[in-house]
Amino acid sequence: NAGVTQTPKFRILKIGQSMTLQCTQDMNHNYMYWYRQDPGMGLKLIYYSVGAGITDKGEVPNGYNVSRSTTEDFPLRLELAAPSQTSVYFCASTAIQGGELFFGEGSRLTVL
Amino acid sequence: QKEVEQNSGPLSVPEGAIASLNCTYSDRGSQSFFWYRQYSGKSPELIMFIYSNGDKEDGRFTAQLNKASQYVSLLIRDSQPSDSATYLCAAGGAGNQFYFGTGTSLTVIP
Helix or strand or coil: residue A85? helix
Which residues 6+ apart lie within 8 Å of B29 measured at CB?
A: B93, B94, B95
Report the residue of chain A nearest B43, measured CA to CA. A105
pLDDT at res. B94: 63
Encode chain B (110 residues) as per-residue pLDDT tens digits. 668 999 877 999 999 999 999 999 998 888 899 999 999 999 999 999 999 999 999 999 999 999 999 999 999 999 999 999 999 999 987 677 888 999 999 999 99
Q: Which residues of A touch B90 (CB under 8 A)?
A: 43, 101
Residues 6+ apart with CB under 8 A from A28: A71, A95
Hey, which of A37-41, A100-104, B8-12 has the most confident mean pLDDT? A100-104
- What pLDDT score does B1 carry? 63
Q: Which residue of B has its CA nearest to A31?
A: B96
pLDDT tens for each residue of A60-76: 999 999 999 999 999 99
Choice among A38-42, A45-49, A67-71, A74-78 with the minimum mean pLDDT: A38-42
Q: How far is it, in rounded angstroms, from Cα B31 to Cα A96?
A: 13
Within 8 A of A101 by CB-CB distance, chain B residues are 34, 36, 44, 46, 90, 98
pLDDT of residue A41: 82
Quick check: helix, strand or coil at residue B26? Answer: coil
Contact at CB, B44 and A103, closer than 8 angstroms = yes
Cα–Cα nearest to A75, from A11, A10, A1, A19? A19
